[in-house]
């Protein structure tokens, strides 16, 4: 009978019958979930050839990593990054294959929504502090969003803290880019004093962020690695932990474009990031997190793996440094860094020579990072710095490359001297 045809006096009778029936379900202790359009395990089985091996697809807590869910990463992946950055596991969010993408998104969040002080897009001028030479892709992000970038000179122990402490009195200064360990391209590790002063900053802008790209935390080249004071702890001491966003990734641990990234931050900041993240994605690639965590099932496994990396690339750094030493040191026309880790040697020619050196190399078939690339807007005020990236070329190529490079430095320097003579 259609419900509309039920006589009014019968509604109550029917209803109480149904409610009795409903009582049975109430007593069954059901846990049924039909809320989301999730594939079932049998559907996921169809794609098992995408799994690495037969060790299964479940996280330590039993979660089926093939399906949706787990916004901030599986526990073992968070723990992996907590180890690298030396922070509590609960202060980590694991992201996709690119920590750069996480940083971009933080800036985009500043622009579109802000950090409690209104959207930056509405303000006339946003400024960002850029220790230089630094990572070109950091600067490219702040340039894209139209920020004014302020050069902060890099010194032997990190960026010029006096200048930073002065600059942050301007409320338009909303953040700073940092690569605190084996910095790109200097190979510098921030001294304890720099870390302490950085963590004690009291910026005029309440929505100021330290974007702390700890990209080379475990990337040592030799047996005398640098050590970096734990800024997370220092910020806590100073009550400044909410302005710190620390990043890491496995890009230079496993596969460059197929790894995992992470951000570490204070409880407050993690909560805010998650509130946004829950709208952005249903979670990062947990199968890839599993792959990594099974490979690095202990801190020792990671250390051993990084030592293998060093065995491959330390000889390449050695070629670069020994060639520079033999061919250029006697001439006293340049200086360069000798890092204990990271991916670069930072080279300083005499003023006004870097572009010419790059051109000479390029014309002979050797691509260098463009001169000036390590500075905001791609402009090195001294036209002196060149970033040398020794890891990729085979040793034999590197040998030729460094001969050519040293030659180009000599030519450019002499040309400059000749020019000085003529004027």
Only segment of 117-125, 173-181, 204-212, 377-385 that touches a copy of itself (CB under 8 A):
117-125
Contact between 209 and a copy of itself per CB under 8 A: no
In whole angstroms, the minimum distance from the beta carbon of 204 to a copy of itself comes to 22
Kindly identify the residues of this chain, within the stretch 91-110, that bind a copy of itself according to CB under 8 A. Answer: 96-98, 100-101, 104-105, 108-109
Per rule CB under 8 A, count of chain residues that contact a copy of itself: 131
Residues facing 263 on adjacent strands: 93, 247
Instruction: Using the CB atoms, write b or e for 205-215: b if 16+ within 10 Å.
Output: bebbbbbbbbb
Binding status of residue 223 toward a copy of itself by CB under 8 A = no
Q: Order across the sheet with 244-249: list the strands.
A: 92-94, 261-264, 244-249, 209-213, 173-178, 127-132, 148-155, 158-159
**Shortest distance (Å) from residue 214 CB to a copy of itself:** 15
- Pairing label, strands 127-132, 209-213: unpaired
Nearer to a copy of itself, 180 or 235 (CB): 180
Name which of residues 237 to 266 contact a copy of itself (CB under 8 A): 251-258
Segment contacting a copy of itself by CB under 8 A, of 161-169, 173-181, 235-243, 400-408: 400-408
Closest C-alpha among 149, 171, 158 to residue 198: 158
User: Half-sphere exposure of 329 toward its Cβ, with a 13 Å CA cutoff?
Assistant: 9
Q: Which is nearer to a copy of itself, 230 or 359 (CB)?
A: 359
List 204, 301, 312, 326, residue binding a copy of itself (CB under 8 A): 312
State how far the Cα of 129 lies from the Cα of 35, in Å rounded to an integer: 46
Largest CA distance in the chain: 113
332-361 positions binding a copy of itself, by CB under 8 A: 332-333, 342-344, 360
Sign of the dihedral through C-alpha 244, 201, 209, 182: negative
- Binding to a copy of itself (CB under 8 A) within 371-390 occurs at 388-390
Find the binder of a copy of itself among 206, 271, 274, 276 (CB under 8 A): 276
Q: Which of 282, 301, 303, 379 binds a copy of itself (CB under 8 A)?
A: 282
């Amino acid at each position: 009978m259609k419900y509309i045809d039920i006589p009014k006096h019968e509604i109550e009778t029917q209803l109480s019958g149904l409610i009795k029936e409903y009582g049975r379900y109430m007593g069954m202790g059901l846990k049924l979930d039909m809320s989301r359009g999730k594939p079932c395990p049998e559907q996921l089985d169809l794609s098992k050839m995408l799994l690495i091996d037969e060790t299964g697809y479940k996280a330590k807590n039993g979660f089926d990593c093939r399906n949706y869910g787990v916004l901030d990463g599986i526990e073992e992946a968070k723990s992996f990054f907590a180890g690298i950055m030396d922070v509590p596991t609960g202060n980590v969010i694991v992201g996709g294959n690119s920590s750069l993408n996480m940083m971009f998104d933080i800036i985009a969040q500043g622009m579109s929504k802000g950090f409690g002080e209104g959207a930056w897009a509405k303000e006339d001028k946003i400024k960002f502090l850029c220790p230089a030479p630094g990572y070109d892709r950091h600067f490219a992000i702040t340039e894209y969003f139209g920020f004014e970038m302020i050069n902060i000179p890099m010194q032997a122990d990190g960026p010029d803290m006096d200048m930073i402490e002065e600059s942050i009195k301007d409320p338009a200064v909303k953040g700073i880019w940092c690569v605190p360990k084996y910095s790109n391209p200097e190979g510098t590790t921030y001294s304890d004093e720099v870390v302490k002063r950085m963590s004690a900053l009291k910026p005029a802008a309440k929505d100021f962020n330290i974007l702390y790209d700890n990209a080379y935390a475990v990337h040592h080249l030799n047996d005398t690695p640098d050590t970096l004071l734990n800024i997370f702890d220092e910020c806590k001491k100073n009550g400044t932990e909410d302005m710190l966003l620390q990043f890491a990734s496995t890009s230079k641990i496993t596969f460059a474009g197929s790894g995992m990234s992470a951000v570490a931050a204070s409880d407050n900041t993690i909560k805010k990031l998650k509130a946004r993240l829950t709208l952005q994605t249903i979670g990062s690639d947990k199968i890839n997190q599993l792959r990594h965590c099974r490979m690095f099932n202990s801190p020792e496994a990671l250390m051993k793996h990084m030592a293998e990396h060093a065995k491959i690339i330390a000889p390449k750094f050695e070629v670069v440094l020994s060639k520079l030493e033999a061919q250029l040191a006697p001439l006293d026309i340049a200086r360069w860094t000798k890092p204990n880790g990271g991916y670069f040697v930072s080279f300083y020619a005499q003023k006004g020579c870097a572009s010419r050196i790059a051109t000479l190399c390029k014309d002979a078939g050797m691509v260098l990072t463009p001169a000036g690339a390590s500075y905001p807007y791609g402009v090195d005020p001294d036209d002196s710095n060149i970033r040398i990236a020794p890891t990729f070329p085979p040793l034999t190529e590197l040998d030729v490359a460094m001969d050519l490079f040293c030659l180009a430095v000599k030519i450019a320097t002499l040309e400059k001297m000749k020019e000085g003579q003529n004027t």
